[in-house]
Amino acid sequence: MADLQSQLSKSRLYLVTDQELSENRDTVTTVEEALKGGVDIVQLREYSLSDSELLTMAHRVRELTRTHKALFIINNRPDIAKLSDADGVHLGQDDLPVAEARKILGEGKLVGVSTHGMDQARKAVTDGADYIGVGPIYPTQTKKNVVPAVTLDYVQQVAGSGLALPFFAIGGIKLHNLQEVLSAGARRVAVVTGIVKTLNVRKVSAEFKEALGKYPL
């Protein structure tokens, strides 16, 4: 767990997959290109796959993340995370509680939680989450149940709160608005369409990483 925590603390760029938005590329190809561009964490989030398809893809992505020394997270499925030996699971507000997810995952794994306000952020800390997602910053249609944009105000609140957890700003973040997010106090971002929907995934990932590098942790 200490090694995963240490790797998490140094991670800046977090890719969240979405096959349906990947410009006719399969997710595994998108992940490989993003990793070559410098992505630090990959979250497999594929709502349209069957359990067997998701597990098969998880094993393939696990191999790629090991090769590139990146963290591998499964969205909302601690069972799939355990079976694929992922590094952890990411939970939404309506998903399993952190403690219950850990019972399935076993010891030494990471648990992240999506948050949309300071009350949820503080609860995630109390519940024992390892990191939080902060968003959606901008309007986004990538999730099935769309949450209203929380705007950059929430980023500023979390950045100034002294919460003792890494946080990743997420939701509609693209290269053209990344500077606004960084100026609001974020030092880590999670990206979906800003990477998976682009024509050159490796190049765009590298550009995200370069921009993040100008703002030390």
Q: Domain 2-213 in CATH: superfamily?
A: Aldolase class I (3.20.20.70)
pTM: 0.96
Give the whole-angstrom CA distance, residue 136 versus residue 171: 4
What's residue 145's pLDDT?
Answer: 52
Question: pLDDT, tens digit, for every residue of 189-201?
Answer: 999 999 999 999 9
Strand partners, 43: 16, 73
Give the whole-angstrom CA distance, residue 18 versus residue 159: 28
Using alpha carbons, list the distances in angstroms from residue 37 to 131, 143, 213: 23, 25, 13
What's residue 141's pLDDT?
Answer: 63
Those residues of the chain that have pLDDT short of 70 are 1, 141-146
What's residue 147's pLDDT?
Answer: 81
What's residue 23's pLDDT?
Answer: 82
Give the whole-angstrom CA distance, residue 8 versus residue 20: 27
Give the whole-angstrom CA distance, residue 96 versus residue 159: 26
Which letter, b or e, does each residue of 49-83 get, where b requires 16 or more Cβ atoms within 10 Å of its Cβ?
eeeeebbebbebbbebbeebebbbbbbbbbebbbe
Q: What is the DSSP letter of 189?
A: E
Q: In the chain, where are the structural domains located?
A: 2-213
Structure tokens at 163: 């919460």
Give the whole-angstrom CA distance, residue 183 versus residue 135: 16
Give the whole-angstrom CA distance, residue 5 versus residue 206: 23
Q: What is the CA radius of gyration of the chain?
A: 16
What's residue 142's pLDDT?
Answer: 65
The CB-side HSE value for 151 (13 A sphere, CA atoms) comes to 1
Helices (DSSP H) in the chain: which residue ranges? 2-10, 27-36, 51-67, 78-83, 98-105, 118-127, 151-159, 178-183, 193-196, 201-213
